[in-house]
Chains A and B, each alone.
Chain A
Amino acid sequence: MSRFSPYDNNGGSCVAIAGADYCVIASDTRMSTGYNILTRDHSKIYKLADKCILASSGFQADMKALQKLLAARHLIYQHQHNKQMSCPAMGQLLSNTLYYKRFFPYYTFNVLGGLDNEGKGCVYTYDAVGSYERVGYSAQGSGSVLIMPFLDNQLKSPSPLLLPAQDAVTPLSQSEAIDLVKTCFASATERDIHTGDNLEIVVLNAGGIHREFMPLRRD
């Protein structure tokens, strides 16, 4: 007798890259369960604040619940503080929200991207129960084990723990970063069955939010 499992893995991959004055967040739009594809155009990217975008892969029902909760908390924050939440603040809120379900976790692997208070790109990467870290780039989801080594090869920057400190933001320009992301997903699509169909790229910079799409292999 197999027990009912409240979880399912809908697959997919998410990537975020932080630049000097921009942030690129991307994910594929395939939603699958087991070997079946449920839909080819499901967005995993959600705008939480003007300067803060969440991309999550994993169990999409938990992702939806998490997005709604964070959006509601953000609305309350705006009412109480008369301003939008900054990305680092949202980063801490997401970590706490995930940890409050420590004994019944949200099965989501999140990447939060945006601009910090100085306008520099920032990316926060999470595990399912809320441990988080600010990094220069990150990949999560079923294709992350394929994408991360490639990003390490292209973007590896000095660790923020080194003393004397060295700057960790990638020297890439915005268009180079977008091309890099497209390359990542094209490669991940080749070797990960859960990644493919369409790539949604969101770019956040001082000029606002810009969204573009690129088709991926549908097989």
Chain B
Amino acid sequence: MKLDTTGLESALPLFGTNCQMVDGFTAAPAFDLPTTLDFDGFQKEAIQMVKPAKGTTTLAFIFKEGVMVAADSRASMGGYISSQSVKKIIEINPYMLGTMAGGAADCQFWHRNLGIKCRLHELANKRRISVTGASKLLANILYSYRGMGLSVGTMIAGWDETGPGLYYVDSEGGRLKGPRFSVGSGSPYAYGVLDSGYRYDMSIEEAAELARRAIYHATFRDGASGGVASVYHVGPNGWKKLSGDDVGELHYKYYPVTPSTVEQEMVEVSGA
């Protein structure tokens, strides 16, 4: 099975000209494959064993002032919460962000790889790569691994010469350009809040508050989302993290406990 390993090659050979010492370590690392007749069945079993972190809420939208990107921070393995502090908004370079949904390792690895390719593009072409180009690079790599069990549902958000850009890219090989996306198990809840509150001409604060609320409401209803709601803004000068709030505290901020009149108070009973 020939795999597309262009994503793994580096421009320079890893260990210089003398490769005798390092025979086992090739310059272009390739993925080991199990020798089995039933590759798909093996992958299915392996995934069961590995149980990659899934379940998330991420969203991004374009508005007048740029792109707003937000995500929760919970990673779950089956029913177990493996982490409440996962960074799901990945900083590819100072003016481009990627969001993570699906397999955590897949997203982390391929986003880092994308960052490397974007940097190589800058060095080779003396100009920054466009959001269109970056998302295409990632989509092509993921398409070549289609059917092998990668699980990636990501949004590439950035600001390039044509203005703000937002693409949705997934491990099925799909790549969509659009103004508003939400990805993950909590996305239906986030879409409800996001779509009803969205206007193109919002200010940065209003857009940040909309994004924060959408994530909060998704974490409220979706068991696989939670932790900290992070909100980033991508403007002409690059991205900036606007806020990171614990969703438990956001709950009491949005729905504060109002003191109500007490009808009957319980009193201490002595002895008994």
Q: Which A residues are CB-close (under 8 A) to B46? A: 103-105
A96-140 interface (Cβ within 8 A of B): 96, 98-105, 107, 125, 127-133, 135
A contact patch SS:
loop
Most buried by B among A5, A101, A129, A135: A129
B79-133 interface (Cβ within 8 A of A): 80, 82-87, 103-109
Q: Return the chain A residue nearest B249 by Cβ.
A: A162
Other-chain residue from B33, B75, B109 in contact with A96 (beta carbon distance below 8 A): B109
- CA gap between A135 and B84 in the complex, in Å: 10
Output the least CB separation between B252 and chain A (Å): 16
Q: Which A residues are CB-close (under 8 A) to B267? A: none
CB-based contact B109/A105 at 8 Å:
no
Given the known inter-chain contacts A129-B103, A159-B228, please indicate yes or no for A103 contacting B83, CB distance below 8 A.
Answer: no
CB-based contact A127/B53 at 8 Å:
yes
User: Is residue B77 contacting chain A, with contact meaning CB distance below 8 A?
Assistant: yes
Given the known inter-chain contacts A95-B108, A99-B109, please indicate yes or no for A133 contacting B32, CB distance below 8 A.
Answer: no
User: Is residue A160 contacting chain B, with contact meaning CB distance below 8 A?
Assistant: yes
Other-chain residue from B86, B149, B228 in contact with A103 (beta carbon distance below 8 A): B149
Output the least CB separation between B221 and chain A (Å): 21
- CA gap between A107 and B49 in the complex, in Å: 8
Output the least CB separation between B264 and chain A (Å): 35
Q: Which A residues are CB-close (under 8 A) to B53? A: 127, 131
User: Is residue A145 contacting chain B, with contact meaning CB distance below 8 A?
Assistant: yes
Q: Return the chain A residue nearest B230 by Cβ.
A: A161
CB-based contact A159/B50 at 8 Å:
no
- CA gap between A3 and B35 in the complex, in Å: 13
B141-165 interface (Cβ within 8 A of A): 148-150
Interface residues on A, range: 20 to 34
User: Is residue A34 contacting chain B, with contact meaning CB distance below 8 A?
Assistant: no
- CA gap between A102 and B150 in the complex, in Å: 9
Given the known inter-chain contacts A103-B31, A104-B33, please indicate yes or no for A159 contacting B85, CB distance below 8 A.
Answer: yes
Q: Which A residues are CB-close (under 8 A) to B109? A: 95-96, 99, 102, 130
Q: Return the chain B residue nearest A101 by Cβ.
A: B32
User: Is residue A1 contacting chain B, with contact meaning CB distance below 8 A?
Assistant: no
CB-based contact A159/B246 at 8 Å:
yes
CB-based contact A159/B105 at 8 Å:
no
A72-115 interface (Cβ within 8 A of B): 72-73, 76, 80, 95-96, 98-105, 107
Listed stretches B182-190, B196-204, B237-245; interface member: B237-245
Q: Which B residues are CB-close (under 8 A) to A159? A: 73, 84-85, 227-228, 244, 246
Which 6 interchain pairs have the tightest Cβ spacing? A131-B104, A131-B105, A163-B244, A129-B105, A161-B228, A159-B85
Q: What is the interface of chain B, defined by CB distance below 8 A to chain A?
A: 15, 21-22, 24-25, 29, 31-34, 38, 43, 45-46, 49-50, 52-53, 73, 75, 77, 80, 82-87, 103-109, 148-150, 227-228, 230, 241-246
Interface CB pairs A-B, < 8 A, 6: A95-B105, A104-B32, A162-B228, A162-B245, A163-B243, A163-B244
